[in-house]
Structure 1
Amino acid sequence: MPLGALRPSPLVEQATQHLRDQITDGQWPVGTKLPAETALAKTLGVGRSTVREALRALAGAGLLQARQGAGVFVIATEPEEDWATRLRHAAVTDIYEVRMLIEVQAARLSAQRRTKVDLAAMRTALDARRDAAAGEDAAFVDADIALHAAVVAGAHNPVLTDLFVEFTPALRNGLIDLLDILDLRAHEPNHGDEAHEALVRAIERGDADTASSTLQAELEQTLARLQRL
């Protein structure tokens, strides 16, 4: 695709897209040295500062690399996916396996570190989960995730909390699909209530071993169902 003069605005975004197209379309294969900023600016009809910003954006996407004294080179023809994008594309079973690693440890820490405020939040979330059992699958999943989020919050580790938040959108979609495909709530609208009650009670007692083993068993059961889909 040949380069051409750009419209006035937004110049950086347009310049970035034009250069990206040259790379992803194979016009500039891996290893190619790009023309100098001055030449690119003239071809695109923009200033050198605009070209510089576009090149910086493409370097950030993993497509280009500036080499001191040599120029700017193409190092990939497909942009790197950020973490959120990779999660959206990941298999729900892969997400669930990592979820287990995060949440089982979070449950153990929560039993050791939870405050009265944390315990109240878990009880409130457990009650909300029970109330949601009378509703649609999406509402029930949202209430279930809220309870698990309260358990993770009780660990008082911001990194664990952030990781759980990152997983939530993909996890939510997978759980809704699971309930729909297997119709798990047809005969048990409040599916998994006993296990969740046991989890909260263990955290209330400060029993880290039981809290982690209870959650491990509950998540393994769900993962086994997902792997059979």
Structure 2
Amino acid sequence: MLRPSPLVDQATQHLREEIAAGRYPVGTKLPGETTLAKTLGVGRSTVREALRALAGAGLLQARQGSGVFVIATEVAEEWPARLRRAAVADVYEVRMLVEVQAARLAAERRTPADLEALKAALAARRAAAAGDDAAFVDADIALHAAVVAAARNPVLTDLFAEFVPALRQGLIDLLDLRGPDRNPGDASHAGLVTAIEKFDRQAASRILHEELAATLRALQKLSASPSTLSPHDG
């Protein structure tokens, strides 16, 4: 029997442990609320809240007219946590898929306000070239974020924002190796803004693909070096 408080949290944890231990394998129908309430020594409302919490965690699924079934034995890892654990080059490959399409959409949908934001971000990137690597990476990411914002798709905007923490340190590590060119990629970024200004979808997507592909190759080379820090060290 569970202790008096907090009952819902304790019931949720108890059932989670039972599922993880294999008492209720995937595909198993759980006992009814009345039976679970009696087993746990709590009310049916507490059991109901615990089942709702476990369904929200992806472990259970309620099927109307059939009952509640186990669909997983472990809580799925949240997307931000998975990105933080991933290799920066792997994240970058997915970023390319997202952002190249965003550039194409931006060249279709950009507004005058979007264009102003893009030009301001390009100027800020150039100004940041004189500063340290972190400031330059932040300015570069801000420009790319402005491109994604101009695509006018909130899902793309949110997805790009999820990538940023996983990418930032890897890009800073890469810039540690930059030579005399303190503003790498300036011409391509300027060309990207111009293509979006002219509503040139093909040029925008091509320029951005080439730019991101070059950076990806550099990241892959960097990560292959035995002396390289992982994206989350430092």
The answer to whether the superposition gives a TM-score over 0.5 is yes
Residue matched to 1:171: 167
1:186: Cα distance to partner?
4.8
1:126 maps to 2:133: no
Residue 109 of structure 2 corresponds to 113
Determine the C-alpha separation between the residues in 2 that align with 1:136 and 1:204.
30
State how far apart, in whole Å, the 2-side matches of 1:224 and 1:132 are.
Answer: 24
Q: Give the conservation status (yes or no) of the 8 Å contact 1:24–1:78.
A: yes
Residues 197, 70 of structure 1: CA spacing in aligned structure 2 closer, same or farther, 3 A cutoff? closer
C-alpha deviation, 1:49, in angstroms? 0.8
Change (3 A) 1:116 1:69: closer
Matched, 1:215 2:208: yes
The SS at the match of 2:69 is strand
Alignment partner of 1:203 out of 196, 199, 205: 196
Partner of 1:88: 84
Which of 189-198 and 143-152 deviates more? 189-198
In the aligned structure 1, how far is the partner of 2:63 from the partner of 2:187? 60
Per-residue CA deviations over 1:143-179 (Å, capped at 9, x if unaligned) read 1111011112222233332332232232324323433
Q: Would you say how many aligned residue pairs link Structure 1 and Structure 2? A: 222
Q: Separation in 2 of the partners of 1:189 and 1:83? A: 34
Q: From the superposition, tell whether residues 186 and 27 of structure 1 become closer, same or farther in structure 2 (CA, over 3 Å).
A: farther
Mapped partners of 2:133, 2:205: distance in 1: 26
Secondary structure of 1:168 counterpart: helix
| RMSD (Å) for aligned C-alpha atoms | 2.6
Structure 1: tracts of 5 or more residues without a match: none
**How far apart are the structure 1 equivalents of 2:109 and 2:34?**
59
What TM-score do the two structures reach when normalised by structure 2? 0.80
| Letter matched to residue 192 of structure 1 | G
Task: Name the CA distance, whole Å, in 2 between partners of 1:7 and 1:158.
Answer: 44
1-structure distance, mates of 2:61, 2:55: 6
Corresponding residue of 2:149: 153
Return the offset for 1:68: 5.3
Inter-partner Cα distance in structure 2 for 1:14 and 1:136: 50
Look up the equivalent residue of 1:50 and give its one-letter code: T
Identical amino acids, percent of aligned pairs: 70
Mapped to 1, the partners of 2:106 and 2:17 lie a distance apart of: 49
1:99 pairs with 2:95: yes
Contact in 1 for aligned 2:2/2:10 (Cα 8 Å): no
